[in-house]
Structure 1
Amino acid sequence: MPRTCFILNPNAGPNRRHDLPALIARHFGGAGGPDYAVRPTQHAGHAVELAREAAQEGFRVVAAVGGDGTINEVGRGLLGTAAALGIVPQGSGNGLARHLQVPLSVPAALRRLRAPTFSRIDVGHINGKPFFCTAGLGFDAHVSQHFALAGTRGLLTYVRVALLEYRRFRPVAVQARFDSRPGLLETDCYVLTFANASQYGNNAFIAPQADLRDGLLDACLIDALPAVRAVRVSLGMALGNLPATKAADYYQFKQAHVTAAAPLGYHADGDYLGHATKFDVSLSPAALEVAV
């Protein structure tokens, strides 16, 4: 059993019925000690600091207990260290956990972490911010911004916010250059997602062909989303066959540069980062070790 530090976000997820410290103690050996530690976060960004400290203390695994936002913070803290990222899913969507086939049951995830398999995954960057699952511009970032202000979490809240904002959001003209294709792509952007993993979360597959270990990012471009196409996109994401619907265009790349005609919201792993008109996106192959 690797020496493990659990970084616990007490506010993650739509429900918090588990006594997580007690469950961790049951699976990792009593009331603490040298083999494991539990450290709760106190504010946004705290998990980055806690993860970096745990790596410096020699913990072999630093496990994020939370959703994709918590996982992003812990993963950022571990970049360039000898510690591996573990995951105990407690989020609203759990996109990276689902892609890595981490059990969504907390006890099952803890049992898996007692004897994990170690491997390495690619890491994306958008305007210097690392992401492990997805990042993007446009409608998904717009929804992330409003979802963060909704007051409640969970899939139903996300769907409610998305339906409300669908009537308000308008696409923006962009110019994009991908290192994998010649020339400049000039188009409208309703959604431009950069996928390291295959899904947003809740098995909504935005880029089902994406692979965390292939040394490439997958871009999914939707230039407009009228009602008929919105139904096709929603069904395609739910069924995992969005590329086959021809409702979106796909590009694989290692580096991309995007310029927007007006400020566009953007996100990394579901966390809204603000608005910008220029976006630099890149990939660092096999930059993070994971324990799953």
Structure 2
Amino acid sequence: MDSARTFESIVIIFNPNSTGDAPELAQQLHDKLQDLISYAPDIVLRPTEHAGHAVDLARDAATGDRSVLVVSVSGDGGYNEVVNGVMQAGNPKAVCAVLAAGNANDHSRITGTKPLEDAIVEGRVRNIDLLRIHTGQNDDEPLEYAHSYIGFGLSPVVATELEKGSKGALKEMVTVIKTFSKFKPFSIRQSDGKRRKFDSLVFANIREMAKYATLSEAETIPSDGKFEVIVFPHMPKWRVLLTALRATTQGLGEQPSVSSYEFTTLKPLPYQVDGEVRTVDAEVKVRVESAPSVLPTIG
């Protein structure tokens, strides 16, 4: 059930060097909240200085026993950093929110219910699930969370190539086509001990990704303690293209829904967490699981 919430402080995190309009949007949100909120919380802007800095800023903002709202003015990758920073702080009174900026804003687009400043003034907080991935971390390393999806196979390979080049719809399309033409499938050992080959394996907490692809007919608010598993077994490339086209036009239909999924890598394998690319070593047991209702959010 939603609960009305006031905040002692509101911390707005953004990338001042964003190719989009993040600095302007962050300042606008700051000014709107100062005008709209009657109980006068401390509202501060926190620009990032380098990749990964949003994790530190969010963790510092959320540490303690205060009621704090941490807002990410960003795309999915920037929000991923803020979510992970807040989770590391371990403060149940800390709430997350995202104001869409940048190139990819799937989470905000799918889960948003109203303009963010209105939602903050209203103060209705809800808890949503996160995806949690275990990739053989040491005990002293924090667990990694995803707010929307984790993908193995084609998606992280394409994302890596996109990061190397310039942005822009036409250039992105050319990059995707070139990368797809050279893409090779990957093999994993599943929990039943059998090896299987895939073109793509995506664990989704929302029903759409990459702006246009409808992965599943699941509920748009990720709060059921499960996630969808979207599998592209290895197939001829023309069939992969047809499947991708179906995802962008009519959707892929209902997908299996689980609370956890395990497999073992056979070779080093890139993967994508909310648009950010990571790599897991060979012979590592990977476990993706739902972390039910662990993130208080607003918006």
TM-score by length of 1: 0.83
1:201-251 Cα distance to aligned partner (Å, 9 max, x none): 31322234265111012111101353442343233222352137xxxxx43
Does the 8 Å contact 1:98/1:201 carry over to 2? no
Q: Secondary structure at the match of 2:243?
A: helix
For the structure 1 residues 36 and 121, does the alpha-carbon distance in structure 2 shift closer, same or farther, using more than 3 Å as the test? same
State the one-letter code of the partner of 1:16: D
Could you tell me whether the CA contact under 8 Å between 1:122 and 1:215 is conserved in 2? yes
Change (3 A) 1:236 1:117: farther
Residue identity matched to 1:229: R
Matched, 1:173 2:184: no
1:133 matched to which residue of 2? 148
For 2:187, what is the secondary structure of its paired residue?
A: strand
- Give, in angstroms, the shift of residue 161 of structure 1: 2.2
The Cα of 1:185 is off from its aligned counterpart by: 5.7
1:133-165: CA deviations, max 9, x gaps?
00011110111212222243x555443322110
Change (3 A) 1:213 1:34: closer
Question: Does structure 1 residue 99 correspond to structure 2 residue 83?
Answer: no
Contact kept, 8 Å, 2:99 with 2:116, in 1: the verdict is yes
* Alpha-carbon distance in 2 for matches of 1:185, 1:155: 40
Q: C-alpha separation between the residues in 1 aligned to 2:287 and 2:248?
A: 29
Distance 1:283 1:158, change over 3 A: farther
Matches within 5 A, 1:1-292: 2=7, 3-12=9-18, 15-16=20-21, 19-29=24-34, 34-56=41-63, 58-79=66-87, 80-81=90-91, 82-101=93-112, 108-126=115-133, 127=135, 128-152=143-167, 155-177=169-191, 183-184=192-193, 186-209=195-218, 212-243=222-253, 250-277=255-282, 278=284, 279-292=286-299
Instruction: Note closer, same or farther for the CA distance 1:276–1:160 as it changes in structure 2 (3 Å cut).
Output: farther
Structure 1 Cα separation of the partners of residues 176 and 215 of structure 2:
15
Q: Would the aligned equivalents of 2:76 and 2:104 in 1 still touch at CA under 8 Å?
A: yes
CA distance in 1, matches of 2:189, 2:32: 51
User: How many residues in Structure 1 have an aligned counterpart in Structure 2?
Assistant: 275
- 1:184: how far off? 5.0
Question: How many angstroms does 1:64 deviate by?
Answer: 0.5
Q: TM-score, normalised by structure 2?
A: 0.82
Moved more, 215-224 or 15-24: 15-24
SS in 2 for 1:274: strand
SS at match of 1:243: coil
Gaps of 5+ in 1: 178-182, 245-249
Aligned CA-pair RMSD: 2.6
Relative to structure 1, the CA distance from residue 100 to residue 156 in structure 2 (aligned partners, 3 Å threshold; closer, same or farther) is farther
Question: Matches of 1:276 and 1:43 in 2, distance apart?
Answer: 26
Question: Which amino acid is 1:280 matched to?
Answer: R
* Aligned mates of 2:120, 2:21 — CA distance in 1: 20
Cα distance change on mapping 1:132 and 1:168 into 2, 3 Å: same
Aligned equivalents of 2:169, 2:120: Cα separation in 1? 26
The match for 1:180 is: none
Q: Contact 1:4/1:59 (CA < 8 Å) preserved in 2?
A: no
Secondary structure at the aligned position of 2:267 is classed as strand
Determine if contact 1:138/1:190 at 8 Å carries over to the other structure: yes
The 1:265/1:122 distance shift into structure 2, 3 A limit, reads same
Residue by residue, what CA displacement relative to the aligned partner does 1:43-96 show, whole Å, maximum 9, x if unpaired?
111111111221236353110010111101111111222211111100312011
Residue identity matched to 2:277: Y
Give, in whole Å, the separation in 2 of the partners of 1:241 and 1:27.
Answer: 38
CA contact (8 A) 2:22 2:74 kept: no
Report if aligned partners of 2:225, 2:292 keep a CA contact under 8 Å in 1.
yes
